[in-house]
Chain A
Amino acid sequence: MEFGPGIWGPIVATAVMLLGVAIGYLLLSISRRYMVPKPSVEKLRTYACGEVLEPEEVHVESEQFYSPIRRVFKPFYRFVRPAHTGILSTYLLWVFVGFIMILIAIVVALR
């Protein structure tokens, strides 16, 4: 197996992972024996200090899901993302800009 330095035996690793899953499941089932879960409507609801929320209201907004990461890459989301304007002319302009960039790169590389 050409996987470079270190040891990676996929079968062994898979076996170990499956073993881990089995142990976890075993622990879970043992604990279930002592503490039988008693689901009730209140327990299944999302806790919001006693407020009753509809499932639609609890749903995380998909665009805000990773706001910390968005903050880290702020310049990207400020400049590159709005550049995907949806305007065909802009996209064609990108193609030409890309063309010129690649041309310069290739001329430099082949010289």
Chain B
Amino acid sequence: MSLNYIIAMLLFTLGIYCLLFKRNIVKMVIGLQVLTNGLHLFLISLGYREGGIAPILAGEMLGRGATAEFAAAAVDPVPQALVLTSIVINVCTMALALSLAIYIYRHYGTLNPFQIRRLRG
């Protein structure tokens, strides 16, 4: 279980590394995505419980009709909803960032942030 948190932290650090040290806009966008995916893993792990079941009241659980038993066995659904929302947001961010990167390449002929610096001072 703690492996999840370690990997989440690793992904987060990797994303920050990409953002700080990669000299390519697209790679930086990828770094941003890696960073948020680390976050998602962290969020999902928060709601996970050893041997838990999907938080949907269906199947054999439905037959027994024991809500308390179901609640004791199911994993926390809230982080899953949060992660889903966050994934949707990330899709938008990614799409916008990549289309901006295409325009950047068209105007500047490069994706190196060290050369995209006409606005400064």
Chain B residues at the A interface, C-beta cutoff of 8 Å: 16, 19-21, 23, 25, 28, 113-114, 116-121
Contact = CB atoms under 8 A, between A and B. Distances in A.
B113 A88 contact: yes
A89 B23 contact: yes
30 contacts: A81-B121, A84-B120, A84-B121, A85-B117, A85-B120, A86-B116, A86-B117, A86-B118, A86-B119, A86-B120, A86-B121, A87-B113, A87-B114, A87-B116, A87-B117, A88-B25, A88-B28, A88-B113, A88-B116, A89-B19, A89-B20, A89-B21, A89-B23, A89-B113, A89-B114, A92-B19, A92-B20, A93-B20, A96-B16, A96-B20
A81 B120 CA distance: 9
Interface residues of A, number: 10
B79 to A, nearest CB: 24
Contacts of A89: 19-21, 23, 113-114
Nearest to B113: A88
A89 B16 CA distance: 11
Contacts of A85: 117, 120
A37 B12 CA distance: 73
A86 B115 CA distance: 9
Contacts of B113: 87-89
A87 B114 CA distance: 5
Nearest to B16: A96
Nearest to B115: A87
A53 B114 CA distance: 41
A4 B114 CA distance: 51
B23 to A, nearest CB: 7
A92 B113 CA distance: 11
Nearest to B118: A86
B19 to A, nearest CB: 5
Contacts of B23: 89
Nearest to B117: A86
A93 B21 CA distance: 9
Nearest to A89: B113
